[in-house]
Amino acid sequence: MTMRSVNPATGEVIEEFETLSPEQVEHALDDAARAAREWAATPMDERCALVRRAGEVLRARRDELARVITLEMGKRIAEARAEVEKCAWVCEHYAEQGPAYLAPEEIATDASRSYVAFQPLGPVLAVMPWNFPFWQVFRFAAPALVAGNVGLLKHASNVPRCAVEIEKVFTEAGAPAGVFRTLLIPAADVERVIEDPRVRAVTLTGSDPAGRRVAAVAGRALKKTVLELGGSDPFVVLDDADLDEAARVGVAARYQNAGQSCIAAKRFILVEAIAEEFLARFRALVEELKPGDPLDEATTLAPLARADLRDELHQQVQDSVVEGAVVVTGGEPLPGPGAYYAATILDRVEPGMRAYEEELFGPVAVVLRAKDEEDALRLANDTRYGLGGAVFSGDPERGERFALGIEAGAAFVNGMVKSDPRLPFGGIKMSGYGRELGREGIREFVNIKTVWIR
């Protein structure tokens, strides 16, 4: 069986990869189990040094790796370079802060001494998506390796070259054999790997249906999971907001990565008093977006990662229009080769429409109109997802009060939702559970052990 690397901008096959045989997977799991024992016994400073060197390799190969990302996944080359840089940052962060995050914590009890220790679990399987093909992996791998775990990567089947190059980064950084391994296997083989007793935990970033499947398998095997799933993030504009700034940030928050981000602004919730003014500014900026070759620096709207994703997005838009939504701009696939879709604004979206109920994973902004601030918060929370949310207000304290009411794992005031190695990242409701990044992220895949001494 093979995996194909296809250029989303042209539809051309770049290369093909042979998937691993059952025997090869068995050897990889054996290697991981052996490496886990040795890596856990490796001093923390050596583990940090490896992850720091991985960041140095990323920076040294930035332009080359960015081109791999753009050719295989389709994002703009500037975004791809920024993604590689962010991966280097997360490596640096955990190399620097990992020892403090995992330092034993003394607790006063009836013992002569009692404390909490943080010890590695062993091989962790990461089931990762294609939309940020390097970042999603490194935000798991950097803390996992610093903590003393080893990594097994099952990447999305449409980014096999990225998966291979990520393993090479760790190899070039000097990782011992088995400490980080890419498994080129089809989705049908993932269940068997999760069930294998040599795998101790699982992390997945993907859709909520994928999360349910992985969690069910891992649950039967009593294995820890972290799930970062879909999102339908609200982008709320209150009546005292700086509309020019909100519109500018809103375009970046919705259309970066061609809208293919779990934490992209999906639902623009506008207080009625400023709805028309905001939309006029927002539409003008959206219509300036320039589709084109993602390797061209002048391009500001990239293709979607696959043609089937573009077709599904268009069906969601069409169905919503039939149900009463209004296309303000866009609303159509773009002609020519590649999986391009016009930058789109859908207004007058109401409950029951597909655009209201579902996540739209592409360059489509959904507009909901709220009577007032209270109604805006109701709409913001009227979703099965809870990953992130943003609110814009001229009064930061008012914005903070609103943000605290958003049912999500992250809430931003006067800024777009983004991940940061220093802050925990994850969701609630159907957006999953557990956290990545920050202190909380590195502690997800450790044994939090009580030690009591008299």
**H helix and E strand count, the chain:** 15, 20
Q: Indicate whether 112 and 186 sit together in one domain.
A: yes
User: Which pTM was predicted?
Assistant: 0.97
- Read off the pLDDT band of 256 (50, 70, 90): very high
Q: Is 314 contained in some domain?
A: yes
Q: Indicate whether 273 and 191 sit together in one domain.
A: no
Q: Indicate whether 92 and 168 sit together in one domain.
A: yes
CA 72, 73, 75, 81 torsion: positive or negative? negative
pLDDT computed for residue 75 by the predictor: 98
- Read off the pLDDT band of 312 (50, 70, 90): very high
Structural domain range at position 86: 2-229+431-453
pLDDT computed for residue 172 by the predictor: 98
23 in active site = no
pLDDT computed for residue 356 by the predictor: 98
Q: Indicate whether 153 and 295 sit together in one domain.
A: no
Q: Indicate whether 147 and 105 sit together in one domain.
A: yes
pLDDT computed for residue 223 by the predictor: 98
pLDDT in tens, 265-274: 999 999 999 9
Q: What is the CATH number of the domain that holds 52?
A: 3.40.605.10
Segment (H or E) for 94: helix 77-101
105 in active site = no
Q: Indicate whether 283 and 205 sit together in one domain.
A: no
Q: Indicate whether 223 and 294 sit together in one domain.
A: no
Q: Is 190 contained in some domain?
A: yes
Q: Indicate whether 437 and 412 sit together in one domain.
A: no
Q: Is 258 contained in some domain?
A: yes
Q: What is the CATH number of the domain that holds 289?
A: 3.40.309.10
Of the candidates 83, 262, 359, 407, the residue annotated as catalytic is: 262
Q: Indicate whether 277 and 210 sit together in one domain.
A: no
Distance CA 379, CA 174 (A): 50
Q: Is 265 contained in some domain?
A: yes
Q: Is 260 contained in some domain?
A: yes
Of the candidates 79, 228, 373, 436, the residue annotated as catalytic is: 228
Question: 3-state SS string over 379-437?
Answer: HHHCCCEECEEEEECCCHHHHHHHHHHCCCCEEEECCCCCCCCCCCECCEECCEECCEC
What's the token pair of residue 33? 């189990």
- Asked if residue 330 lies in contact with residue 364, where contact means CB atoms within 8 angstroms, the answer is yes
Q: Indicate whether 247 and 379 sit together in one domain.
A: yes
- Nearest Cα neighbor of 327 from 279, 262, 371 is 279
pLDDT in tens, 45-96: 999 999 999 999 999 999 999 999 999 999 999 999 999 999 999 999 999 9
- Asked if residue 162 lies in contact with residue 69, where contact means CB atoms within 8 angstroms, the answer is yes
Angle between the 62-73 and 44-60 helix axes, to the nearest 10 degrees?
A: 70
Number of domains in the chain: 2
Q: Indicate whether 252 and 110 sit together in one domain.
A: no
| Average pLDDT of the chain to the nearest whole number | 98
Q: Indicate whether 413 and 309 sit together in one domain.
A: yes
Distance CA 171, CA 213 (A): 31
Distance CA 182, CA 155 (A): 8
Q: Is 425 contained in some domain?
A: no
- Nearest Cα neighbor of 171 from 185, 186, 181, 161 is 181
pLDDT computed for residue 126 by the predictor: 98
CA 409 from chain center: how many Å? 13
349 — alpha (psi -120 to 50), left (phi > 0) or beta?
beta
- Nearest Cα neighbor of 6 from 161, 136, 153, 128 is 161
Q: Is 426 contained in some domain?
A: no
3-state secondary structure of 237: strand
pLDDT in tens, 410-439: 999 999 999 999 999 999 999 999 999 999
